[in-house]
Amino acid sequence: MKRAFISFDFDHDEELRNALIGQAKNPDSPFNIADWSVHEPFDSNWRERVRSRIRRTDLTIVICGEHTHTATGVAAEMTITREENKPYFLLWGRPKKTCTKPRNTLATDKIYEWTWVNLKLLIEGAR
């Protein structure tokens, strides 16, 4: 069972995070959620708290919504995830909407369709 850190735009996409937490509770789920999102305002310790939480996980799941490109917290979590050499993937959070990547993703980072089958494959490393 893999432990995942969820990165999402807290101001716009919290219900998407809640949906992913619900999927992690499915009986055939290959992952559980380390719901360690930092909800407090940014302060001098914010990055170190996030880094500590990301270190305790196996991968990061980035939920992309319509405003993700403006979410500074998501961009910071992406940077920390890469610095910690953790695998990650991006999920298209809103069907039929224009979802955006965090501003500091790599050109090769793809946003994957959010289906249960895809999610299980992505958790296992198919990307």
SS3 46: helix
How far CA 119 is from CA of 73, 74, 93, 102, in Å, comes to 23, 20, 12, 19
Q: Look up the CATH number of the domain holding residue 64.
A: 3.40.50.450
> What share of the chain in percent tops pLDDT 70?
93
Domain enclosing residue 62, as ranges:
2-123
User: Exposure of 113 by Cβ count < 10 A (0-12 exposed, 13-18 middle, 19+ buried)?
Assistant: exposed
Q: For residue range 65-122, what is the model confidence (pLDDT) as tens digits?
A: 999 999 999 999 999 999 999 999 999 999 999 999 999 999 999 999 999 999 999 9
Give the closest residue to 16 by CA, choosing from 80, 72, 94: 94
Q: How confident is the model at residue 41 (pLDDT cuts 50, 70, 90)?
A: low
| pLDDT attached to residue 127 | 84
Q: Which pTM value belongs to this model? A: 0.92
Q: In what order do the strands lie in the sheet with 88-92?
A: 31-34, 2-7, 59-64, 88-92, 111-113
Supply 78's token pair. 């992406």
Q: CB under 8 Å to 105, separation ≥6 — which residues?
A: 78, 90
Q: CB under 8 Å to 127, separation ≥6 — which residues?
A: 87, 89, 110, 112
Q: Which residue is it, tokens 């958790």?
A: 123
Count of domains for the chain: 1
